[in-house]
Amino acid sequence: MDSFFLKLSVMLVPGMLAIVCHEVSHGYIAWRFGDPTARMMGRLTLNPLKHIDIVGTLMIFFVGIGWAKPVPVVYENLRNPKRDMIWVAAAGPITNIILATVSAFLLRGVVAIGNPAASGSPFAMFMEPVVLMLAFSVYINLLLAIFNMIPMPPLDGGRVLVGLLPSRQAAALSRIEPYGMVIIIVLVFFTNMFSYIISPFLMLGVQLLAGSQAGLVMGVTRLMMH
């Protein structure tokens, strides 16, 4: 039970912030490019109750990655649908990279001040969970960014690729979308795709952003995942 509440306290805030900001950014960029659907439905808010998907939230605790309810985007409302959808799709992963970068620099700063776990002061007791949350935030945001940039619709990378390809090839790739998530789930859970493709990029990103604290980030993540 104590282990569950530790995971809850460390993973919930950065996990929810990562997936909510990801979805809000899609809706915000769509609005800026002419589609007000997300704004009209009240989805341009950081209130997690507007975005929460129960299964997606629980998956944060069980597999370390989750999702929110997708923000609706009406393709035809965009001023230049094919071009604008590239930016709408890319907005989510870009937001996660920004959050990971901010978390990494805050983590470096906090650790540079001094190890909060080294003393039993009230300040140390406050800062220890902050360090754990920042470390997990680096991991979860990078993982969301990398996973979502897999070039397979309906993931963001697939939609970016549809926008970049010539019309005939884009139409062919779009036809995969109804089956895309099934294909991705099979590849991630029943092949070595995570170990050989996602994990190397994830480790590279953690090392680049967290620097000397990369070991702390991965150590906290392993603790949370077990």
Determine the average pLDDT of the residues in 42-58.
86
Band (49; pLDDT cuts 50, 70, 90) = confident
Q: How many residues does the chain have?
A: 226
Domain housing 111: 2-149+191-225
Domain assignment of residue 66, yes or no: yes
Is there a contact between 153 and 172 (Cβ–Cβ < 8 Å)? no
Domain assignment of residue 169, yes or no: no
Q: Which of 23, 76, 128, 177 is catalytic?
A: 23
Domain assignment of residue 211, yes or no: yes
Domain assignment of residue 90, yes or no: yes
| Number of domains the chain contains | 1
Using alpha carbons only, how large is the chain's radius of gyration in Å?
A: 19
Domain assignment of residue 182, yes or no: no
The region that residue 34 occupies, defined by phi over 0 for left and psi between -120 and 50 for alpha, beta otherwise, is left
Active site residue 23: yes
H helices within 33-166, ranges in order?
Answer: 37-40, 54-63, 81-113, 122-148, 156-164
Determine the average pLDDT of the residues in 17-34.
95
Tell me, what amino acid is at 31? Answer: W
Domain assignment of residue 168, yes or no: no
The model scores a pTM over 0.85: yes
Band (225; pLDDT cuts 50, 70, 90) = confident
Please tell me the predicted confidence (pLDDT) of residue 118.
54
Please tell me the predicted confidence (pLDDT) of residue 1.
43
Please tell me the predicted confidence (pLDDT) of residue 120.
59
Please tell me the predicted confidence (pLDDT) of residue 138.
97
Q: What is the pLDDT of residues 115-162, one digit of tens each?
A: 555 555 566 667 788 899 999 999 999 999 999 999 999 999 999 999
Cα 212 to Cα 72: distance, rounded to the nearest angstrom: 40
Higher confidence at residue 165 or residue 12? 165
Whether residue 2 is predicted with pLDDT greater than 70 in this model: the reply is: no
For 179-198, b where at least 16 C-beta lie within 10 A, e where not — what string? ebeeebeebbeeeeeeeeeb
87: Cβ–Cβ under 8 A, 6 or more apart, which residues?
29, 33
Domain assignment of residue 103, yes or no: yes
Domain assignment of residue 198, yes or no: yes
Q: What is the pLDDT of residues 166-205, one digit of tens each?
A: 999 999 999 998 898 888 888 877 888 888 889 999 999 9
